Chains A and B, each alone.
Chain A
Amino acid sequence: MPTERDHVEDLNAIFDALSESVVEESDDQLLAEVRESGQDPNALMAHVKGVLRQAVKQTQQRPLRDARKAYEARRSALQQNSYSLPESADERRTLFMNVVVQNPSVGGMLTAHFREFDKLEDDDITSCLRQLADLGLLDESSERDSGDR
């Protein structure tokens, strides 16, 4: 039984041969073919140079892009933290003050940013609580609370 022909490999072979045929071809012949196909050789040159320049630029920007991706991934992970905060602003404030009392170092650190805790807005308190949750301090606080009862 004859072997089934591999048409993909055949097509690859044809186009490989076509691509290799331009390597040794003269500039004049290639430019004549460009014009025959309705293209402007100068426009083609500008296009090829543009593609190559853009590739150089993308390579240079790659470390920065990779760092930004990593930063956005970390930020997204922080925002998706599933710790659920108390529903009311009063409850959130109470929780926050409990954490500060139980963790003096946290209180000291926060004082560097906020002069008086009782004047903090709810948004600030909520933001602090989320960061404290990521540090695991809210879990520790609730464990201590249940231990004290």
Chain B
Amino acid sequence: MSKKADRRVPEEQAATVAQVLAAIEAMTAGDAARLKGFAASKWRVRGHLPDGRDGDDLLSAAVVAALAGRRRWNPSKVPFPTFLIGAMRSLANHARKARVTDILQIALSESDLVTPEDPIPLDNMSSADPYAFGSATPSAEERVLQEQSQREARDLISEFEKSHDDDWEALLVIEAWREGHDGPAIREKLGLSVTEYETIVRRLRRKAKISHNSRQPNAN
């Protein structure tokens, strides 16, 4: 029986705390804008409305996972911002599957959840898995919370779509995203060039940020 290859960075190649701190200092304003933009959208809504922390928790969790968890960074292979984006993507997806809103808990508990056969077992977990964290059969309280989350999500989507009321291209892209299509598939389906698609997405990002900032008590 073949053993699954261990994809983890060997400990001797993993970055030290000093290397992580140096990489943080070396970051550019563009790196920071990308990281913040990614984190804020990735961790804005997980069954709850944005609470003003704008993805900072996800940024922190990615660093914690690198230093205390199983996600080692190899400085000779991957730039630090790229590593952080990969870690944030994975942590956010795992948190969703585990139905956990405390992202730091995911960053720390991943180290307790691995097995020799599955270095990152949450990668293999399906959200439909009845043995995923959280109950397979929701309690009455959980059902109430789920219904509330559904209402809030529906209202947010409706608000977002209304903000693009006169932009049919943006509405088509939003619908395609809801159906799970990615950029290349959407461009092919709608006959858009790369530049045309990117222009529409920039309009969507701009409106999403305006909508989000208007909800925050202390927008930064």
Contacts and interface: CB of A to CB of B under 8 A. Distances in A.
Interface in B35-67: 35-42, 44-47, 56, 59-61, 63-64, 67
Interface string A10-25: 1111111111111101
Q: What are the 9 closest A-B residue pairs judged by CB atoms, nearest first? A: A27-B30, A19-B41, A55-B63, A7-B153, A55-B60, A48-B32, A22-B37, A45-B32, A7-B154
B157 to A, nearest CB: 6
A85 interface: no
B interface majority secondary structure: helix
Interface in B168-220: 174, 177-180, 182-183, 198, 201-202, 204-206, 208-210, 213, 220
Nearest to A14: B177
Contacts of B27: 45, 48-49
A45 B47 contact: no
A42 interface: yes
Interface of B: 17, 20-21, 24-25, 27-42, 44-47, 56, 59-61, 63-64, 67-68, 85, 96, 149-151, 153-154, 156-157, 160, 174, 177-180, 182-183, 198, 201-202, 204-206, 208-210, 213, 220
A34 interface: yes
Contacts of A11: 45, 153, 156-157
Contacts of A28: 30
